[in-house]
Amino acid sequence: MAGNGMAPRRGGLRDRLAPLGERLELGSIVLLLLLVTGVWGFIELAGEVVEGETERLDRALLLAFRARDDPAEPLGPLWLQEMGRDLTALGGVAVLSLVTIGVLAFLAMRRLWAAAGLLLVAVLGGLAVSTLLKEHFERPRPDLVPHGSIVTDASFPSGHSMMATVVYLTLGALLARVEPGLRVKVFVLGFAVLLALLVGVSRVYLGVHWPTDVLAGWVLGAAWALLFWLIARWLQHRGRLEVDRGE
pLDDT band at 137 (very low <50, low <70, confident <90, very high): very high
Residues 182-207: tens digit of each pLDDT: 888 888 889 999 999 999 999 999 99
More confident site: 242 or 56: 56
- Whether 147 is covered by a domain: the verdict is yes
- Whether 62 is covered by a domain: the verdict is no
- Whether 177 is covered by a domain: the verdict is yes
Give the single-character DSSP code of 74.
Answer: B
- Whether 46 is covered by a domain: the verdict is no
pLDDT band at 177 (very low <50, low <70, confident <90, very high): low
Q: Please list the alpha-helical segments (H only) found in the chain.
A: 13-50, 55-64, 78-89, 93-109, 113-137, 159-178, 182-205, 211-237
Q: Lowest-confidence range among 26-35, 144-153, 176-185, 197-206?
A: 176-185
Q: Is 160 a catalytic residue?
A: yes
- Whether 97 is covered by a domain: the verdict is yes
pLDDT band at 244 (very low <50, low <70, confident <90, very high): low
Q: Which domain holds residue 222?
A: 84-247
Q: Is 237 a catalytic residue?
A: no
- Whether 101 is covered by a domain: the verdict is yes
Helix (H, G, I), strand (E, B) or coil at 66: strand
pLDDT band at 240 (very low <50, low <70, confident <90, very high): low
Residues 206-236: tens digit of each pLDDT: 999 999 999 999 999 999 999 988 888 888 7
pLDDT reported for residue 214: 97
- Whether 33 is covered by a domain: the verdict is no
More confident site: 144 or 177: 144
Catalytic-labelled residue, pool 136, 147, 160, 237? 160
Mean pLDDT of the chain: 85
Give me the amino acid identity at 102: G
- Whether 78 is covered by a domain: the verdict is no
The answer to whether 155 touches 213, Cβ cutoff 8 Å, is: yes
More confident site: 11 or 110: 110
CA 222 to chain centre: 4
The answer to whether 209 touches 216, Cβ cutoff 8 Å, is: no
pLDDT reported for residue 8: 47
**What is the number of domains present in the chain?**
1
